[in-house]
Amino acid sequence: MALLKISDFDPDYREAFDGNDVKGMSVYAQGTDEKIGTVSDVLVDEEGNFRYFIVDLGFWIFGKKVLMPVGRSRIDYGADRVYAVGMTREQAENLPEFDENMAVDYDYEERVRGVYRGQTATAEIPLEGAPLDTAATVGMAAPAPKPTYTRDTYDYKYDEDLYNLKEDANQNLKLYQERLVANKVRRKAGEVSIGKRVETETAQVSIPIEKERVVIERVSPTDAGKAVDPSQVRFGEGETTRVELYEETPEVRKEAFVREEVRVRKEVDQETVQAQETIRREELEIHNEGTVVENQDRLPNDRI
């Protein structure tokens, strides 16, 4: 199951902490005033269940961040503190370092769980708003033998002592309600490819042309047979007449011109889609035994 930062899962996550922001809370070793670091962020699963606090151990180990399962923590809203149950400096040194850019996968979580497993966490845990010297004792029994599982069958319920929030360590009873968080994911729906190709065809054009030719006509003159003055007669051999002939030939060339222009653009169509999911809400149940004096400031019936 993928893990998400709490702000990525629910931007209004502060409502789960009575309007406070758990980020930036100081982390103290249980039962002491020794500050070991600060809460950098919170990791939740895909259903919104708290799984880990990301703790910056700047007061113990400079520059190192580690994961602390929520079952090994107690939140003191009054003191604005988070207490690490049973964490020691040696344990912090053995925990694998957390990097903001890394993917928290099964193998990494197993390394984290391996450090916490087998630890007997019996300690004095201060209730909300209670000073350290009046802390309530919360006993955590040694974990039971773990069932056999694989990376594909593992469930957080196998490590309840690591991931269950202990409600008896808080004085406030919180009623939770689920709500739908709608997000939009942009995905590629298709692709249109527009290109050009060249087609060829044979075109014909009619061109009128002119050709010259010689026409020779032999005719009898009207004065045929009439004697001619001998002085005007000039017999010559080899006398010729030259006539030049011309003709037109077709000359064809090609020229390109713009036939059509294609414009490509994108348009965005908007529509509203409906999504539905079953959500849960916790309601308060009050069971009275004996004579009970009700407070005049009790909640209205529609809130019980």
* Better-scored residue on pLDDT, 240 or 74: 74
Q: Is residue 143's pLDDT more than 70?
A: no
In the block, tokens 């899962």 appear at 9
Q: Is residue 53's pLDDT more than 90?
A: yes
What pLDDT is recorded for position 175? 58
What pLDDT is recorded for position 89? 86
Query: Exposure string (b/e) for 23-58, b if CB count within 10 Å is 16 or more?
Result: bebbbbbbbeeeebbbbbbbbbbeeeebbbbbbbbe
What pLDDT is recorded for position 119? 61
The token pair at 91 is 């344990």
pLDDT in tens, 170-213: 434 455 778 888 888 888 888 888 888 999 999 888 989 899 89
What pLDDT is recorded for position 298? 43
Q: Is residue 257's pLDDT more than 50?
A: yes
Residues 6+ apart with CB under 8 A from 186: none
pTM as predicted: 0.48
What pLDDT is recorded for position 240? 80
Report the top-level CATH class of 4-119. alpha beta
63 within 8 A of 119, measured Cβ to Cβ: no
Q: How many helices (H) and strands (E) does the chain have?
A: 4, 9
| DSSP state for residue 142 in the 8-state scheme | P
Q: Is residue 67's pLDDT more than 90?
A: yes
What pLDDT is recorded for position 290? 57
Mean pLDDT within 15-42: 84
What pLDDT is recorded for position 38? 93
| DSSP state for residue 166 in the 8-state scheme | -
211 within 8 A of 247, measured Cβ to Cβ: yes
d(C-alpha 138, C-alpha 289), whole Å: 28
End-to-end CA distance of the chain: give it in Å, rounded: 35
What pLDDT is recorded for position 169? 46
For the chain, the average pLDDT equals 78
